[in-house]
Amino acid sequence: MSDPISPLDRQFQSIRIVYYFMFGSLFLYMYLSEFLLHPPVHEIGTFYQVTIVVCVIELILGIVLRKVFVDRAAEALRANPDDLTALAKGRIGLVATFGLAEAASVFMSLWSPKRPS
């Protein structure tokens, strides 16, 4: 008879699915960005600088969220693998980190300056 899947393994599988879908959507964003309108050439400087600042802020937030939620949850799960609270916090941290990374990549791919046609 097969062993039941532990909550940790079940959560890990669902996080992997979210990760793969978000990673795959990055390629979709890059593909779509080639066909969308881009800012006029005279607006690229300021707009691009603001976009870079927003991306840097999102990446910093992602690192902080990862330290706060994921690393603490990992330590708690090492001590007690059946701790559902730590498992939920780790999942929240991972999904939030994935979302911030996705948002930063969308900013960079959709609004990166393109050569005028």
Averaged pLDDT, groups of 10, the chain, 117 residues long: 74 85 81 65 67 84 90 91 88 89 77 60
For residue 81, give the DSSP letter: T
Provide the pLDDT for residue 53: 84
CA distance 63 to 90: 14
Provide the pLDDT for residue 40: 57
From 94, 100, 106, select the one nearest 27 (Cα to Cα). 106
Provide the pLDDT for residue 79: 93
pTM over 0.75: no
CA distance 115 to 73: 45
The length of the chain, given as a count of residues: 117
